[in-house]
Amino acid sequence: MKSELIRPIQNRRLPLWRYEARRAGWTLLAAPLTALLVGVALALLAANGGSSRDQVGRMLLAGPEVLLPLTTGMAAVSMVARDGCRELQLSLPTRYAVTLGRRLGTLALAGAVCTLLFSAILGLTGLWAGPGPLASTLVWLPPTLWLAALAVLVGILGRSLVVATTVVAVVWLGELLFAAWFAAEGWARPFFLFTTVRFGVDGDWWTNRLALTASGLLIVVVVALLLRRPHQLLTEEEV
């Protein structure tokens, strides 16, 4: 009897997630795959240019650790800033935080599936330059979580796609350009997004991954608290 009651609920949830995926847009959901393909293209160019196998492996690793956080963050902020039905959503029984969470969840699932498959393929071909299988997820998950959470936070606070994407791009580019500064400053190195590609899996790698994960989750908590008052997210045009 209990299973008969649960089955209809599960059957209703699947179309709901499909609807949220369509609302998010297949272009945005393809952002993680685009990042990985760009990484592969760069690695092929490096290989054709005479780069060593280790250097090619590092270039492939840049796909999940360097490019994936950027494309995921941009896609996430687009989902938040371009939601033109917020005023309608606030009038429904389902909380806006739940709806937005499902939409961002589809993006997270697409990124996880693409990256796990990508990492497995590199591992099977011997081109994986990161840590072992048990820790391989930590190459891409902490920086992606951190930058995507920051993107959503700025998108909610600024309520502007231009402002949010600019902040994400500046942070991402700044960390790339000032990698040497992050390496020299002990207090800043735990928050460097691209440690695996830039410095490898050294003694501070685990500290860096844990710091990014903890601070990323903290940003997620702040976002959840802000979404408890979703009416404050409305712009003047939406009021």
Predicted confidence at residue 227, as pLDDT, reads: 80
Predicted confidence at residue 23, as pLDDT, reads: 60
Structurally, how many domains does the chain consist of?
Answer: 1
Mean pLDDT by 10 residues, the chain (239 residues): 43 56 65 91 90 87 95 87 54 60 83 92 90 90 95 85 91 94 88 92 89 96 81 47
Residue (of 142, 117, 129) closest to 43 by Cα position: 129
Q: Which SS3 state, helix, strand or coil, does residue 27 take?
A: helix
Predicted confidence at residue 22, as pLDDT, reads: 63
Q: Which domain holds residue 171?
A: 24-233
Separation CA 65–CA 57 (nearest Å): 12
Q: What is the pLDDT of residues 43-68, one digit of tens each?
A: 999 889 888 888 888 899 999 999 99
Q: Read off the DSSP letter of residue 65.
A: I
Rg (CA), the chain: 19
Q: What is the pLDDT of residues 113-151, one digit of tens each?
A: 999 999 999 999 988 988 888 899 999 999 999 999 999
Alpha helix (H) ranges present in 66-204? Answer: 68-81, 86-89, 96-125, 137-158, 161-177, 179-184, 195-199
In a domain, 62, yes or no: yes
In a domain, 227, yes or no: yes
